[in-house]
Amino acid sequence: MTHDRNNPDRSLAAEFALGVLAGDDLRRAQELVRTDPAFRLEVARWAGRLAPMLDDIEPVVPPGGAWGRIDRSVGELPGGSNVVQLRRRMQQWRGIAAAMTALAACLAIVLVATVERQVQPPAAIQRPSGPPMVAMLGDQGQMKVVASWDPAARQLVLAVAGDMPNDPRHSRELWVIPAGGKPRSLGTMADRKQMHVRLADALAQLLQQGATIAISVEPRGGSPTGAPTGPVVASGALSQA
Amino acid sequence: MDRPPELQANSASKELLDLLSAVSRGDRTAFAELYRRTSAKLYGICLRLLGSEAEAQDLLQEVYVLVWQKAGRFDPNKASAITWLAVLTRNKAIDRLRRPRIGREGIEAAADVEDDSPSAFDIIREQDDSARLGRCLDELDERARIAIRAAFLDGDTYPQLAEREGVPLGTMKSWIRRGLARLRGCLER
């Protein structure tokens, strides 16, 4: 007989999947589920082993009103788990982006401090349209995009890391969304790893600190309406480089 | 023309898998069809574990909303769609059964239970042979078999089972632990 005296957690995983635990043992198992992948795997295996018992329960047709309530509550939610997962991944990516931006800011301070000691620039000369900015854009696949904006040259450079999806029926369209404003198209992206766009003054003014750069999937050639019509697959806020 | 039952079961299971995968892309029509095909089974589980129709309907709604939001967490390599849905429903019913004990165990315990219960979605079926569990359960002592079934299908905890059977808590724990260890031995043979 294989008693689990030597492996109490393995026994605990079985007991947790069976649902018999209470009090401190239950809390310990819940903690292990969160922190110990091996424990969680063993719980999942036990859930599978015990699952056939559920076949013994007689099906019961739910009352007619049940579907209506479910349909209505789902109608108010964003559809599909991909959206939720996308958001979670983008939050992670934003965390990384924030760290990189902070690092870039530190480097910039060091650089500026060094340069200022060497040459004193005339106080009057200042770039009229503000400092360069970057936005980190992550999407749900492997593609990551770094957008850097040079206001003086009115040039936006996009560098794509990872796989560019090869999709002949759709275009990826680039947008700027000013804080509190509507999306304005910056054009569609070529299927290349780098993209340079020189922007007209009217558009260039919109690329300010806090504005969002986003990429949406549109019919080939770009949105027919002038506003995004397809899903936004990547976005990120502009901040000072 | 009638196909062998096995093939019918396989194709029904493939259809459910396709429906679930369409739901994960936000397909409302697929969601309605998934409900039509699975709600009687899931509602049966809700009723069995919770007892009250109002609670069962409330749980049914919670489960389908979860399915709508998290269908992407289903992994067809690990379990069939119907097993995943049934165990998810059962796990959520257990969460609910543990919730009313706020008064007894304090607010912190309630907060633990309210947590996303990450393992509720994890189910790995290593064998497709559903009849085998029944055969292995039959090999156990009657006491262990009854206790394990009551725990899984009625949601009873160790203290509740011990009270119901009129035995000390330690005795009930040792029946079930030994039963589970033998069960695994039998299933892995």
pLDDT of A50-70, one tens digit each? 999 999 999 999 998 899 999
Give the number of other CB atoms < 10 A from CB of residue B118.
13
Flag whether the ipTM exceeds 0.85.
yes
Chains A, B: CB contacts under 8 A, how many?
193
How far apart CA A87 and CA A188 sit, in angstroms, is: 23
For A38, counting Cβ atoms within 10 Å of its Cβ (0-12 exposed, 13-18 middle, 19+ buried), the class is: exposed
Place of tokens 């957008």: A147
Lowest mean pLDDT among A133-142, A216-225, B10-19, B159-168: A133-142
Look over chain A and give the mean of its residue pLDDT values, rounded to a whole number. 75
Task: Measure CB to CB from residue A73 to each of B23, B65, B155 and give the nearest one.
Answer: B65
Residue B30 in tokens: 């697929």
Task: Measure CB to CB from residue B119 to each of A22, A40, A79 and give the nearest one.
Answer: A40
Residue A85 in tokens: 């997962």
> Which of the two residues, A163 and A180, has the higher pLDDT score?
A180
- List the 46-65 stretch of A: residues with Cβ below 8 A of B: 47-63
Question: Residues B35, B79: contact at Cβ < 8 Å?
Answer: no
Rg of chain B's alpha carbons, rounded to an integer? 18
Bridge partners, residue A162, by sequence: none
Chain A nearest C-alpha distance from B166 (Å)? 16
How far apart CA B66 and CA A139 sit, in angstroms, is: 24
For A15, counting Cβ atoms within 10 Å of its Cβ (0-12 exposed, 13-18 middle, 19+ buried), the class is: buried
Q: What 3-state class would DSSP assign to A215?
A: strand
How far apart CA B34 and CA B23 sit, in angstroms, is: 8
Residue A188 in tokens: 């569609």
Contact residues, chain A, for B115 at CB < 8 Å: 30, 34
Q: What 3-state class would DSSP assign to A95?
A: helix
Q: How confident is the model at residue B175 (pLDDT cuts 50, 70, 90)?
A: very high
DSSP B100-136: GGHHHHHHHHHHHHHS--GGGG--------HHHHHHH
How far apart CA B27 and CA B19 sit, in angstroms, is: 9
Question: Residues B179, B147: contact at Cβ < 8 Å?
Answer: yes
pLDDT value of residue A128 = 42
Q: Quote the longest CA-to-CA distance of chain B.
A: 60
How far apart CA A94 and CA A238 sit, in angstroms, is: 12
Would the CB atoms of A45 and B157 count as touching at under 8 Å? no
Average pLDDT over residues B135-157: 94
pLDDT value of residue A213 = 87
* B25 pLDDT more than 60: yes
How far apart CA A159 and CA A144 sit, in angstroms, is: 8
Chain B nearest C-alpha distance from A175 (Å)? 24
Would the CB atoms of A66 and B57 count as touching at under 8 Å? yes
Task: Measure CB to CB from residue B184 to each of A2, A16, A26 and give the nearest one.
Answer: A2
Amino acid (one-letter) located at A36 = D
Would the CB atoms of A18 and B180 count as touching at under 8 Å? yes
Strands A144-150 and A155-161 turn out to be: antiparallel
> Could you tell me what percent of chain A has a pLDDT over 90?
22
Question: Residues B63, B88: contact at Cβ < 8 Å?
Answer: yes
Chain A nearest C-alpha distance from B22 (Å)? 9
Tell me the CA distances in angstroms from B164 to A20, A176, B103, one per residue in order.
Answer: 13, 66, 22
Q: How confident is the model at residue B107 (pLDDT cuts 50, 70, 90)?
A: very low
* A80 pLDDT more than 60: no
Beta strands in A114-219 (DSSP E): 133-138, 144-150, 155-161, 170-177, 184-189, 194-198, 212-219
- List the 84-113 stretch of A: residues with Cβ below 8 A of B: 84-85
> Could you tell me what percent of chain B has a pLDDT over 70?
84
Chain A nearest C-alpha distance from B1 (Å)? 27
| Assigned CATH class of B127-189 | mainly alpha
Residue A164 in tokens: 């560019």
Give the number of other CB atoms < 10 A from CB of residue A239.
18
Place of tokens 């904006």: A149
Task: Measure CB to CB from residue B61 to each of A11, A48, A70 and give the nearest one.
Answer: A70
How far apart CA B152 and CA B87 sit, in angstroms, is: 10
Instruction: Name the residue ranges covered by the structural domains of chain B.
Output: 1-125, 127-189
| Assigned CATH class of B1-125 | mainly alpha
**pTM of the complete model beyond 0.80:** no
Look over chain B and give the mean of its residue pLDDT values, rounded to a whole number. 85
pLDDT value of residue A216 = 81
Chain B nearest C-alpha distance from A233 (Å)? 14
pLDDT value of residue B164 = 92
Chain A nearest C-alpha distance from B140 (Å)? 12
pLDDT value of residue A98 = 57
Tell me the CA distances in angstroms from A175 to A98, A162, A223, A233, one per residue in order.
Answer: 21, 20, 11, 12
Would the CB atoms of B158 and A43 count as touching at under 8 Å? no
Question: Residues B48, B59: contact at Cβ < 8 Å?
Answer: no
Lowest mean pLDDT among A70-79, B133-142, B153-162, B168-177: A70-79
- List the 22-41 stretch of A: residues with Cβ below 8 A of B: 22-23, 26-27, 30, 33-34, 40-41
Would the CB atoms of B24 and A50 count as touching at under 8 Å? no
Q: How confident is the model at residue A89 (pLDDT cuts 50, 70, 90)?
A: very low
* B89 pLDDT more than 70: yes
Nearest to A165 by CA among A139, A135, A186: A139
Work out the angle at residue B68's Cα, subtended by the Cα atoms of residues A137 and B83, and round it to the nearest 5 degrees.
120
